[in-house]
A and B are shown apart, each in its own frame.
Chain A
Amino acid sequence: MNEEIVIEAKGLTKNYGRAVAVDHISFTVGRGEIFGLLGPNGAGKTTTILMLLGLTDISAGEVRVLGFNPAREPLSVKRRVGYLPDTVGFYDYLTAADNLRYTARLIGFKQLDREKRIAGALDQVGLSELADKRVGTFSHGMRQRLGLAEILMKGAQIAILDEPTSGLDPHATAELLAVIRGFKAEGVSVLLSSHLLERVQSVCDRVALFSGGRIALMGSVADLGREVLGGGYVVDIEADGAGLAERLALIPGVSGVEQTGIGKLRLHADRDVRPEAAVEVVAMQGRLKYLGVQEPSLDAIYTRYFETRPNEEMAMKEGTLHAA
C-alpha cells in the first residue's frame, strides 16, 4: 500500500432521525488502492459513499477526500472523484456519446478536449462502436461499462463504485473487473461496495466488512483470514463410522474436532491433515464422502466472524438502541 492517503474518514456517522445508518466508522484509502466496502444490504455502504461525495449530510465525524471536505467543498471533491451509482441510469433517448457529452459539459471540458476524452473512454470500455447508439438499447452490463467510461472520461483520481457487479452475468462481471483493475494500473484509487463477497475478493487490496452500520473487520483478505479463521487449517469431513471423532482427535496437530451435522465433522489443525484423516477413516472402514480444506475466502471469514460472535453483535445492537 502506498503511503499517500486519498480518502480519510474518522468517526463518520449518519443518523436518520433516531435510526443510525452509519455508526462511527473510520478508514483510509491509499493512492492506487482498491478498497472494498463489503456487507449485506442496508449495512450502511451506500450512505457512506454518499457522505464521501457530499451528496448527503454528515451527522458527525470527519472526512477528507483528496484533502477536501466534501461538506464544505463539494465541487472540488466532485470534480476529482468519479461515481458509479448503484444501477446507474442514463438518458435512454440520447446516444452513449451524447450522454457523456452532457456530463463533460457539466464538468466544464472544452469541446476539443471533450471529444477526445469521450472517444478514449468509450474505447477503453469497449463501447466505441456503440457510441452513436441510443442508450435505451443497451443491456445492464453495457450501461455499467458506460458508467465506468464516464469516470474514465472525467479523469478522476478516485473511482467510487456502488455495487458495480450486482445483476451482471459472469462474463460481464469479468469484463467489469478487468476495467476496475485498469483503474489501479493508472494509479486511480477505487472504492467499491458490494454484497457479493467472492466476486470482488479477487480485485480488492483491502476490504472493510460492514455490519449494522459499523466496520466489523478491516484489512487484506489474507490478514483477515489469519485473524478470524485462526492461523490453522479447517478440514471438513463427511463420513460414517462410530467413534470417528475420537480417532480423528488423536491425529497429531489436530487441536479440536466438532460435529457440524449428521456424519459431518470439522477439524481444526495447525497443518493440512487431509491425508492422515483419510487414512483414519479408511482404517475404520468408514465410508468417506467428502474431505476438504477451507480456503480463507471472504465468505468464510464473514460467516465465521458472525458465527462466533452473535452474542456480541446482539449486545452491540442493544447498546446502539440504548444510546439512541
Chain B
Amino acid sequence: MRREGSAFQGLGVVMLKELSDHLTSVRMRVLEWLVVLVALAALYGAIQQIKETTAEDPFLFLRLFTTSREPLPSFVSFISFLVPLMAIGLGFDAVNGEYNRRTLSRILAQPIYRDALLFGKFLAGLITLAISLITLWLLVIGLGLLLIGIPPGAEEIGRSFLFLLVTIIYAGVWLALALLFSILFRSPATAALVTLGLWLFLTFIWPVLAGAVAQIIAPLDPRYIALGLQTPATAEMEQILARLSPSTLFAETVVALLDPTTRSLGPIYLSQLQGAVLGAPLPLSESMLIAWPQTVGMIASAIVLFVIGYVIFQRQEVRA
C-alpha cells in the first residue's frame, strides 16, 4: 500500500520551529555555558602545560586538544563527557513532551506524516549541536592562535576539522538514543534518567565490564600468563566488546585523528612493526583509514537507533 505525497512534507517547517525552540531555550543556554566554561578551563590547562614542556613538536596545535594538566582532564575528554550530556539534554523530551503538552494529535492532524515530525526533530537537534560545536571549535582555534602564537599547519587544521565532524557524529548517536527513549517512555523524567543511566553504563562501566566478560568468553591462556603476556584471543574479544559502546568508538577515532603517531587501534603484532619507524607520524589519509571503521560504526549506530525509534513511533497510538 503506497501512501500519497512526500513523507518529508512539512519537514523544513518542523525543523525550523524546533531549531528556534532549542536556540532560545534556557536549557540550551545553560548547556552552552557549561561547555564553553569547561572547555576554556581545559584549554587553559593545556596551554600552561604546553608552555612548560615545549619541545620540538610538529603537531603542537593538536596538543591543545589532547594535553591535560592536573587536576583537569584534556579538552577531548571533557568533550567526550559533555557532548552526550548536551545531546541527551536536547532530545530526552522530544516526543513525549509533545504527548504531555497534548500537541501531538493536533500537529499530526495537519497534512504531514509522522516521518516529518520525527526527522525534523532529529535534524534540529543535530544542527543545534553542530552550531555549538563549531562555535567551540573556532573558539579553541582562535585562543590557540592568540596564546601559543604559532599558526597551525594545514594538516593540523584538517585533523582538528575531522575531529569536529566526528564529534558531531558522536553527538548524533546520543541524540538518536535520547529520541528513542523519548518515544518509548511517556514521562520525560523517566526517559532522561534511563538515557543518562545508559550513558553512564556505556561510558564508565562497560569498558571495565568488557574485560571481565571477555575472560569468560575467551578464557586466559596459562601459557601467555606464564610469559607475562596478554592472551591474544582475550584481548581481541575485550576490544570487540568494548567497541559496542559509542564512547569507545569515539575515543579511538579521536586518538587516531589527533595523534598522528597512532598506527593501530587494536593489538599490534610484531609482524606489523616490521620496517616501521616508531614515533613517526602517519599522513592524514592513513590516520583517516585507521579511524574509518570506528566512524562508520558511530554513523551506523545513530541510524539504527533512529530507525528503531521511527518504527516504534509509526505504530504508536496518538491518543494520550
Collect the chain B residues with CB atoms within 8 Å of residue A72's CB.
Answer: 1-4
Interface secondary structure of B, over-half rule:
loop
In the assembled complex, B110 has its CB within 8 A of some CB on chain A: yes
- Measured CB to CB, the nearest residue on chain B to A80 is B111
* A103 pairs with B105, CB closer than 8 A: no
Collect the chain B residues with CB atoms within 8 Å of residue A253's CB.
Answer: none
Q: A50-B319, A56-B318 are in contact. Are A79 and B109 (CB under 8 A)?
A: no
Collect the chain B residues with CB atoms within 8 Å of residue A105's CB.
Answer: 10, 13, 17
A-B CB contact pairs (8 Å), 21 listed: A50-B319, A55-B318, A72-B1, A72-B2, A72-B3, A73-B4, A75-B4, A82-B109, A84-B106, A86-B320, A87-B102, A89-B102, A90-B101, A90-B106, A91-B103, A105-B10, A106-B10, A106-B107, A106-B110, A106-B112, A150-B106
The distance from the CB of A159 to the nearest CB of chain B, in whole angstroms, is 11
In the assembled complex, B108 has its CB within 8 A of some CB on chain A: yes
Collect the chain B residues with CB atoms within 8 Å of residue A53's CB.
Answer: 109
CA distance A71 to B14 in the complex (A): 23
Collect the chain B residues with CB atoms within 8 Å of residue A107's CB.
Answer: 110-111
Contact of A76 among B4, B13, B113 (CB under 8 A): B4
User: Could you list which residues of chain A lie within 8 angstroms of chain B, going by C-beta atoms?
Assistant: 46-47, 50, 53, 55-56, 71-76, 78-79, 81-93, 102-103, 105-108, 147, 150
CA distance A53 to B111 in the complex (A): 10
* A75 pairs with B319, CB closer than 8 A: no
**In chain B, residues 70-118, which have Cβ atoms closer than 8 Å to a Cβ of chain A?**
101-103, 105-113
Collect the chain B residues with CB atoms within 8 Å of residue A91's CB.
Answer: 101, 103
CA distance A84 to B103 in the complex (A): 10
In the assembled complex, B5 has its CB within 8 A of some CB on chain A: yes
User: Could you list which residues of chain B lie within 8 angstroms of chain A, going by C-beta atoms?
Assistant: 1-5, 9-10, 13-14, 17, 21, 101-103, 105-113, 317-320
CA distance A93 to B101 in the complex (A): 11
* B14 pairs with A89, CB closer than 8 A: no
Q: A78-B110, A89-B101 are in contact. Are A102 and B3 (CB under 8 A)?
A: no
Collect the chain B residues with CB atoms within 8 Å of residue A108's CB.
Answer: 9-10, 111
Contact of A79 among B3, B106, B111, B320 (CB under 8 A): B111
Collect the chain B residues with CB atoms within 8 Å of residue A87's CB.
Answer: 102
Contact of B108 among A55, A86, A93 (CB under 8 A): A55
Q: A75-B111, A79-B111 are in contact. Are A102 and B17 (CB under 8 A)?
A: yes
Collect the chain B residues with CB atoms within 8 Å of residue A88's CB.
Answer: 102, 106
Q: A46-B319, A50-B318, A106-B14 are in contact. Are A85 and B109 (CB under 8 A)?
A: yes
* B318 pairs with A92, CB closer than 8 A: no
Collect the chain A residues with CB atoms within 8 Å of residue B318's CB.
Answer: 50, 55-56
- Measured CB to CB, the nearest residue on chain B to A87 is B102
